[in-house]
Amino acid sequence: MNPDRMQGRDMTAVSAVSGWLYGFGLRFNKRSRHDDSLACANIVYAPDEQIQGVLYELASGAEIIKLDPYEGAPRRYSREVFSVQTKAGAKAAWVYVANPAVLDSQILPARWYIEHLLAGRQYLSEEYWQAIDSTVCQAGSVKWS
């Protein structure tokens, strides 16, 4: 959700808006491709929950391919099309979902990783931002890009 990180990954976005998925929840249960002891974000089916985030409109359909290596797609995440809700209505959008082989509910994210999600504050409700900010994290993990 960090706009600076997206720009640093050479993504050409035309716009960014708040987006949400009903019936899904945010979990930190995907093993990092850099360190199996660290958790990364994932979405899971959760009928009573809602995920909030940033929906980037990319300059072209080919732009998403630039993001795949950073996300570890297609091995660690699969890239799937979801109907993401926005203030302007539903939009078909790519969403990364962790592959079952890399799930681990016993690990925690690093605080610096959580900060990347928190950088999208302008796109999140205050309540959702606070929930992410209160995520229990590992102490002393080494930062990677």
Rounded Cα distance, 41 and 99, in Å: 12
pTM of the model: 0.90
Q: Which is more confidently placed, 37 or 145?
A: 37
pLDDT of residue 77: 96
| 125 SS3 class | coil
CB 58 within 8 A of CB 88: no
pLDDT band of residue 141 (cuts 50, 70, 90) is low
pLDDT of residue 31: 96
Rounded Cα distance, 136 and 100, in Å: 22
Q: Regarding the domain delimited by 3-133, which CATH topology (the fold level of the hierarchy) does it fall under? A: Hypothetical upf0131 protein ytfp (3.10.490)
pLDDT of residue 52: 98
Find where tokens 């990954």 sit.
Answer: 9
Query: Average pLDDT over the chain, rounded to whole?
Result: 93
Tokens of 90: 């539903």
What does the pLDDT look like over 16-54, one tens digit per residue? 999 999 999 999 999 999 899 999 999 999 999 999 999
Domains of the chain: which residue ranges? 3-133
Q: How far is CA 124 from CA 20, 71, 103, 105, 109, in A?
A: 9, 22, 26, 25, 20
Q: Is the dihedral of CA 94, 100, 106, 107 positive or negative?
A: negative
Of 64, 100, 69, 102, the closest CA to residue 81 belongs to: 64
CB 52 within 8 A of CB 128: yes
- Does the pLDDT value for residue 123 go beyond 90? yes
Residue range 1-26: mean pLDDT, rounded: 91
Find where tokens 């979990």 sit.
Answer: 27
